[in-house]
A and B are shown apart, each in its own frame.
Chain A
Amino acid sequence: EIVLTQSPGTLSLSPGERATLSCRASQSVSRSYLAWYQQKPGQAPRLLIYSASSRVAGTPDRFSGSGSGTEFTLTISRLEPEDFAVYYCQKYGSSPYTFGQGTKLEIK
């Protein structure tokens, strides 16, 4: 079973700064079936990125995903106030569809 470990647990940044979130897998993720979600308090998760680097329609282009194998990164180029939230990575395509434990992006 693949375990996803996200780092850091909390990231404190200011609007306009660049955010780099990491997701490390215990084994190689097949076909880069790695997704990123954003979740705000009281809301359901929102899919941002799939296949490690493909943006979902409606995801702002300041969000970008990269990586393959066991190392994946979500980058937010210039933080907007609405970007402060919790971000999760997920491995999909085969069971178990594991989530990482999340990274909280908070305003500094």
Chain B
Amino acid sequence: EVQLVESGGGLVQPGGSLRLSCAASGFTLSNYDIHWVRQVAGKGLEWLSTITTADDSYYAGSVKGRFIISRENAKNSFYLHMNSLTAGDTAVYYCAAGAVGNFPPGFWGQGTLVTVSS
């Protein structure tokens, strides 16, 4: 079964850091572009970051310089390192994967909640 399983969410203080992980099973991550998307409660989807199979990485302006996307193909996993967190970063974070060759993300994780609060 194809699956993406996220972990690492939770409560963090403003200014703190957190690392989200996403483990893939049922397919080989090295053949996929990887994405992180978040959703504030009751709001729409916000694209955050993408790393391609060629290891090119891209970021939304709202997180550029604070978040870092990385992949570890040997572990079939990828990560989002989040720094300098603010209350505005409180959201459900989704990992997603899209097949190489310019396909949109067709596989999604279940989402992990990140809450930034003192």
Asked whether B47 lies within 8 Å of A96 as measured between CB atoms, the reply is yes
Q: Within A49-107, which residues are at the interface with B (CB < 8 Å)? A: 50, 56, 86, 88, 90, 92-93, 95-102
Q: Within B60-118, which residues are at the interface with A (CB < 8 Å)? A: 60-61, 94, 96, 98, 102-106, 108-111
Q: Mark A18-55, 1 if CB is under 8 A from B, else 0.
A: 00000000000001010101010000111100100000
Q: In the assembled complex, which residues on chain B have CB atoms less than 8 Å from the CB atom of A95?
A: 50, 58-59
Q: In the assembled complex, which residues on chain A have CB atoms less than 8 Å from the CB atom of B11?
A: none
Q: A44-B108, A50-B103 are in contact. Are A99 and B50 (CB under 8 A)?
A: no
Q: In the assembled complex, which residues on chain A have CB atoms less than 8 Å from the CB atom of B111?
A: 44
Please report A residues at the B interface, Cβ cutoff 8 Å: 31, 33, 35, 37, 39, 44-47, 50, 56, 86, 88, 90, 92-93, 95-102
Those 9 A-B pairs whose CB atoms lie nearest each other, nearest first: A95-B58, A35-B104, A44-B108, A92-B104, A97-B47, A99-B45, A47-B106, A102-B44, A93-B102
Please report B residues at the A interface, Cβ cutoff 8 Å: 35, 37, 44-47, 50, 58-61, 94, 96, 98, 102-106, 108-111
| 24 pairs from A and B in contact (CB 8 Å cutoff) | A31-B102, A35-B104, A39-B45, A44-B94, A44-B108, A44-B109, A44-B111, A46-B108, A47-B104, A47-B105, A90-B47, A92-B102, A92-B103, A92-B104, A96-B47, A96-B58, A97-B47, A99-B37, A99-B44, A99-B45, A99-B47, A101-B44, A102-B44, A102-B45
